[in-house]
Amino acid sequence: MQVHIQVNDKRSYGQRNPMIYGHFIEHFHRQIYDGIYDPDSIFADEDGFRTDIMEAMKKIKIPILRWPGGCFVSSYHWKEAVGKARTPFFDKAWRVEDPNTFGTDEYLALCKKLDCEPYICTNAGTGTLEEMSDWVEYCNLDYEGQYAKWRIENGHREPYNVKYWSVGNENYGAWEIGAKSAEEWGRLTREAAKMIKHVDPQTELSAAALADVDWNVNLLQDCGEFLDWISIHEYWDMVPEKNDLATYEQCMAYTIDIDHTVDEIRGLLQAMKLDKKIKIAFDEWNLRSWYHPNVHTIRQGVDKKDYLDPRNANDDNSQYTMADAVFTASFLSAMNRNCDIVGMANFAPVVNTRGCIYSYPEGIVLRSTYHVFDLYVNYLGDTIIDVWAEELPVMQVTHKNGEDLEMETIDILATKWSDKPGIALALINKHPMESQKIKLSFSASGNNVKWYGICGETPNSYNDVDKNEVTIFEEDLGDFTSNMEVELHPHSVNIIQIV
């Protein structure tokens, strides 16, 4: 079967915000300590940050970096981690001691080095409204009040002007320290927003939400007028207690209706006439949840070998295959198509755990998902345009829950650039074994076609310290002609540029 792809570059659906390619970092396992922040590393710069990790992050032009959590933030008190006297504390979310050597000033120094926007998530678990607004004072006021003066005393005369702030993390969940009811959440968020906006009216605020009508109605009725964003999280392959990862085909089943949460929240925002005011921040997402057994449970592990040591399994690079890459590309394509309502997304996390970068003492590994971000950030256009195919091939998959499903094999996204001529297509072949023939059945300006992509020899290809099975290939296809044919490799992510 040959797929005929049609494009109308005169019909645009909008310009995507580069913040949909954002990332996230939390005080969990090796993401910060022994990760991006490692003063003892041979790669450390004068501030303790690993230059090899930062260079990799710069290549994918990280636009925004969410911190410090995640579940961590709901028992985190920022004041203990600024200034010369740092107070170590026991992190009750992850049950480890945090030395507090990486705090607000270090995080903002990292963002400056990366040239990315900071995005601070506040403690709405054990924290107070005043603690949240004090944090904004420290970061954003010029000199007024004790906290701006404290920042200046700590060597930072100019305000950081942090624009993006979130009230809380997943405070709707029983696993979160300081979980709230829907009614409690709406009121708390309103009062927090009032205080934060009184400190700095130019901040943009988000608040924890999910695809739940009762929760969101309470939140939006109470404080919709204060919010600029509504925050949602999703992990599809949930493996917190048992690291039984979905197979390639099971992961493909997760790509069916991958943006269902966006659709549900879009509908609610439209019904409440807030869709022109509030955008969606999909500010924590990944195919697979993090593996951390016997912690977010009623009966917790007692011996560290039962709850702490198992987290090392997140560092097994063989887990991050073309399944992760194809899923990640499918998600990013969906967010591009929803550019009118989704303005931010943050891959969780960027380094180690399920991150797209893995670090070890002698260097880094770029996992398959890293190359997806490289493709989408550096090779796609920024304006979404109309694309269609008369008929797409389908494949049969079995969901992890045992349900047999039918799904389209190819995902198609069409883009152009706002500052130069040309078209770039993102074409994802989800089939594990079969290539897919496509025909570019349209006219296009430009006389050169380039093909960039990743596939790997098998669906289970991965990168590790001693192997590099997933890398970006490049092929020059010559001058563009209408009805040009391209054969997509199995389990592949592809960018076709016509420029």
Task: Kindly report whether the peptide bond that precedes residue 68 is cis, defined as omega within 30 degrees of 0.
Answer: yes
477-483 LR contacts (CB < 8 Å, sep 24+):
477/449, 477/450, 477/451, 478/448, 478/449, 479/447, 479/448, 479/449, 480/440, 480/444, 480/446, 480/447, 480/448, 480/449, 482/440, 482/441, 482/442, 482/443, 483/439, 483/440, 483/441
- Catalytic status, residue 390: no
Q: What is the dihedral of CA 367, 259, 167, 18, to 10 degrees?
A: 60
Q: Which two tokens stand for residue 316?
A: 């097994």
C-beta separation of 282 from 343 below 8 A: no
Q: Which two tokens stand for residue 448?
A: 């050169």
Per-residue buried b or exposed e for 450-475, using 16+ beta carbons within 10 Å of the residue's own CB = bbbbbbbeebbbbbeeeeebbebeee
- What's the first-to-final CA gap in the chain, in angstroms? 27
Rg (CA), the chain: 23
Among 26, 106, 131, 170, the active-site one is 170
Q: Which two tokens stand for residue 314?
A: 């997140």
Pairwise CA distance, residues 112 & 106, whole Å: 10
Bridge partners, 436 (sequence order): 488
- Catalytic status, residue 153: no
Q: Which two tokens stand for residue 11?
A: 């019909």
Pairwise CA distance, residues 287 & 255, whole Å: 9
Cα–Cα distances (Å) from 415 to 67, 115, 175, 420, in that order, read: 31, 25, 40, 12
Positions annotated as catalytic residues are: 170, 284
